[in-house]
Amino acid sequence: MNVDTERTYGLNELEYWPLCLNEDGQLNRWPFDGVALAVIGSPIDHSLSPVMHNAALAELAKAKPEFAKWRYFKFKIASNELEGALRVFHEKQFRGLNLTVPHKALVVPNLEIKDSFVQVAGAANTLLFTETWWRGYNTDGIGLSAALRNDLAVELTGAEIILLGAGGAARAAAAECLRNQCASLWIGNRTQILRDKLVDELRTTYPGQHNIHPFSLKYGQNEKLPAQSIVINATSLGLEPEDDSPLDLEKIPRPMHVFDMIYRPAQTALLRQAATLGIPNSNGLSMLVHQGAASLEIWTGEKAPIETMDQAVRRALN
């Protein structure tokens, strides 16, 4: 199967799947007769998920040849295309999907079945095909905990958390922090309405938790933020090289660690400042690998080759 898993596809090409439109708008006549997986989002060109998952599938195929016919693709799908795209992906019988910005929270009302973490987080990053529709999962929490443990040697349990963002990734991060009984959770976001909505939902979901607080990203309104915290960036601010940092680390009590879910570029403005200040920090590459491994295990029923996945994304970045 000579199929291009490196390029970014669109909804118009999905309509013709498994054939593919070339640059001239003509159909390429290669039939794809394997099992298809994909990541969908916008933006999506930066995603290394196809590199990671296709390396893992090749590794799995060494022991089980049926996986030699599995491939993982990426599709640029805008928020207003999501509902229609889900229908077509299902008609084309894609085995599974990963969801990234802006779909993680938007997809939840479209799911037939949700696992317990999706219900708590209000966001899903992994879908599994069923005969009737999509079953939703969220592996971001697993990925976050594993990345903090592996890269920074810290645990969420008992930690003071400053979380940046209120979208799907932030929702999963918040749920994971509370599930692990963090000492406090402070949530900041550029859009105050979304921030307050998330805080209210978390307080309803966790009625016994009195440690969930909103804060303003504006200087002079965040004096109550805790010292020795773990700052977690779950916004998309940093995906573009010219992006500013979502938070000025010099204008809050000194954090203990800084973690940015973005992995490409490898060092965002937030991480550059953390490095300059001598604060231990890490990007989201390890989180990508561990959440991806958990997704792959849902789709395949096999133990994911995490080392292979990690090596693949690091080679691609280098």
C-alpha to C-alpha distance for 98 and 49, rounded to whole angstroms = 9
Q: What are phi and psi of 299, to 5 degrees?
A: -75, -40
Of 104, 197, 218, 303, the catalytic one is 104
In sign, the C-alpha dihedral spanning 181, 239, 313, 317 is: negative
* CA atoms within 13 Å, Cβ hemisphere of 299: 33
The answer for residues whose C-beta is within 8 angstroms of residue 224's C-beta and 6 or more apart is 213, 215
Evaluate whether 276 touches 16 at the Cβ level (below 8 Å): no
C-alpha to C-alpha distance for 277 and 254, rounded to whole angstroms = 9
User: DSSP assignment of 30-79, as one string?
Assistant: ----SEEEEEEESS-TT--HHHHHHHHHHHHHTT-GGGGGEEEEEEE--G
C-alpha to C-alpha distance for 168 and 121, rounded to whole angstroms = 8
C-alpha to C-alpha distance for 128 and 198, rounded to whole angstroms = 26
Task: Give the position of tokens 């939902």.
Answer: 201
What does the block give as tokens for 157? Answer: 């349990």
Label residue 238 exposed, middle or buried (CB < 10 Å: 0-12, 13-18, 19+).
Answer: buried
Is 303 known to be catalytic?
no
Task: Give the position of tokens 């994909």.
Answer: 38
Q: What are phi and psi of 252, to 5 degrees?
A: -130, 160
Active site residues: 104
